[in-house]
Structure 1
Amino acid sequence: MKAMILAAGRGERMRPLTDTLPKPLLEVRGKALIVWHLERLAKCGFKEVIINIAHFGFKITEALGDGSKYGVNITYSDEQNEGALESAGGIIKALPLLGDESFLVVNGDIFCDYDFNPDFDLGDKLAHLILVPNPEHNLKGDFGLKDNLVLNEADKKYTFSGIGYYSTKLFSDLECKKSALAPLLKEAIAKNEVSGELFKKMWHDIGTPQRLENINND
């Protein structure tokens, strides 16, 4: 299984830090955020990693190179000419690099100790989402969860972690353009085609300078 790290976003909420640096290169506890991902992916057994780039993308390629120093092989999906295509658009553009099998996608702006599984089996589902308890900035949550099935509507909702396993079928025949992932997921969830699990260990969304400061001071 291949992994993809979403790293093309502008990081508006992170300004002014992202005025000169792409968000995945911001340091968390002395190390670039994206490096934490690469090292963990390698430790968990992933060999091939695709990274999409747009905002200051050249700085990511300069910093990470081919990935060999982290124990992985990195291929870049370049969105610098189009501008960031958002989550779904970025995945669709990268499909030729991801191949025909299911794949893992990780948001480049989270910090966690989730163990990525290169042998994960989607079965007959189109996606499997990792959900987490709601942080203070998203108390209403995103999705429900019952018997390992993700729900659009539920009395208790959890936050989507930005980690998911996907079938290429979820994105087949879709136009490569700027598009969000949430509408695709909600459509598949309505058809009971998305499974999920609740992850209760360390997870942070590094969405603002204050959150970054809090983690680095923790």
Structure 2
Amino acid sequence: MESIIAPLTLSLRVAIFATIIAFIIGIFFSWWFAFKKNKLTKFLSIIVTIPLVIPPTVLGYYLILLLGRNSFLGKWMEAVAGGPIIFTWKAAVIAAMIASLPLLISPIQAAFESINKDIIGAAELDGASQLKLLLHIIIPLSYKGVLAGLVLGFARAMGEFGATLMVAGNIPGKTQTLSIAIYDAVQANRMADAHLMVIILTSTTIFFLYIIHRWFK
């Protein structure tokens, strides 16, 4: 059982952090894509969608190039974090965040675009800033889309496998998430462990999705 608790705990930590970061970034991009339509936002919306259509291992390969010690971003993040990012749980968070971002943005953007523009125009005439519009009008009127985005993003982050394996590796107790532990168990023909971990992963994801739904309701 101890061999299951550690991957489960890590998966929850990775999924929660990844969802929080993806939500902060996703709200901004959803607002930008919905209300500031131009050639740049159309191009960026395509870029954001790429993790949905490319294989997870390809996404992981790009992340290795982006976050590796020889890249500018990798060197900067290493200086900030005080050590390498690759093959740490932080890399797993980044991989899960990027993988979940398109699924989080899509329903939120659709909900933003469905808001009556007269309401937003009236608020702007009353002097509401863009931040106040977002926090007090746009998000409250779009809460169902926001909830859907959070649910999809968390579920995707919780089950992330391919990109995580590429950038974080499979280090038991450090970077081995539950999805990777399931893969290990199947490869080692420990089917009883694999069955148990699959049930735990599925049940945990459903439980957290239910809690999020009830909290928003």
Instruction: Confirm or deny a common fold (TM above 0.5).
Output: no
TM, length-normalised to structure 1: 0.23
The structure that is helix-richer by fraction is 2
Greater gyration radius: 2
Bigger proportion of residues as strand: 1
Q: TM-score, normalised by structure 2?
A: 0.23
Larger relative contact order, structure 1 or 2 (CA cutoff 8 Å, min sep 6):
2
